[in-house]
Amino acid sequence: MKKIIFICMIATMFFACKSSSSTTAATEAPTLSTKLDKSTQVAIKGNWVLTNVSYPGSDYIKVTSFDLADSKCFIGSTWNFISNNNKGTMALTAPSCTAFTSPIVWSINNQGLFVLKIVNPGTKSKNVKEGYLLKVAGLSDNSFQLIDNINVGGQVKDVTYQFQRAN
């Protein structure tokens, strides 16, 4: 997962290898655009359910998503995206996983990147300095994907989070 650190209006990107023993290595990051893709943001506004997480080797490799939980714990999670203020919520509710609910701050830039900040209760979003970058793909009226990259044995593989509109 591309993890980013927010510093003023410039973001520095870190790439994380998400195996059971996750490590983070810093690399030179391309310039992250701060110009928003408002039409895509409006298309995503509303309530969504994350219906599937897929990646090569999912039977053998454990991926910890967003530094929170096993990626399979995100299946069935509910997400609310408010496009006029770039806020929302996410809630993990899988029965065999620890429940988790959090406000989020999100945006989609004109490079097609979904920028996500998970905000801990009692923290102002402007004070959250870390976040995640995912690619937006397959956007339709009722579904879209967020695609992340993981490093598996020196090879980059995609992790695809499939969303379906809930309303």
User: Binning pLDDT at 50, 70 and 90, where does residue 2 land?
Assistant: low
- Which of 15-19, 69-73, 114-118 is predicted with the least confidence, judged by mean pLDDT? 15-19
pLDDT at position 1, please? 54
Question: Best-predicted range by mean pLDDT among 46-50, 54-58, 121-125, 149-153?
Answer: 46-50
> Per-residue pLDDT averaged across 35-45, rounded?
92
- Residue 134 makes CB contacts below 8 A (sequence gap 6+) with 1, 2, 113, 114, 116, 146, 147, 148, 161
Q: Give yes or no for a contact between 147 and 158, defined as CB atoms under 8 angstroms apart.
A: yes
Average pLDDT, the chain: 82
Distance of CA 145 to the CA centre of its chain: 10
Contacts of 167 (CB under 8 A, 6+ apart): 46, 47
Alpha-carbon torsion (109, 110, 112, 113), positive or negative:
negative
- pLDDT surpassing 60 at residue 73: yes
Percent of the chain beyond pLDDT 90? 57
Is the pLDDT at 112 greater than 60? The verdict is yes
11-25, 82-96, 105-119, 147-161: which has the minimum mean pLDDT?
11-25
Answer whether residue 78 shows pLDDT above 70. yes
